[in-house]
Amino acid sequence: MASWNGAVHFLGKIGMAAGVCAVAAEIFRPATGRWWLLVVNGLAMALLGLIQYAFVRYGVRFLTVAILVMVMAVSSGVLEMGLARGRRVKVIGLAGVASFGFALVFLALGARWIKVGPGSHVDVLGLYFGFSAVCMVGLGWQSRAGVV
């Protein structure tokens, strides 16, 4: 149990750091225009990391986690769909559609339309964070290349 709590604390720290980096990326962005959705995404991620780090000993409902992940997925999806409009890189639009799909899955999980119990192997949270990380790296790469 101690190693599990240590892992959750560590992931909470990473989540808080990633959220702060997302907000900082928006604040210190050299280009014109504001990506306020990146701030929303970063704040939700930092709050989720804080919950994992500081409040692991308290009972946190899964609905709280699901709502934060839905906010992250929708803000990413809207950002990706907005960036894909009128651009030659359609993969960004597909990533936006996938983000909306993840938001629907977390809505279903949070509302308990999909039952989760011991041994159910619902690894969608880790899958979403891996997907989100790849998309953010891709957006950064496309931005550096001048496509976005």
Give tens-digit pLDDT for 8-29: 778 888 888 888 888 887 787 7
Residue pLDDT, tens place only, 31-69:
665 578 888 989 999 998 898 888 777 777 888 888 999
Rg (alpha carbons) of the chain, rounded to whole number: 16
Q: What is the pTM of this model?
A: 0.81
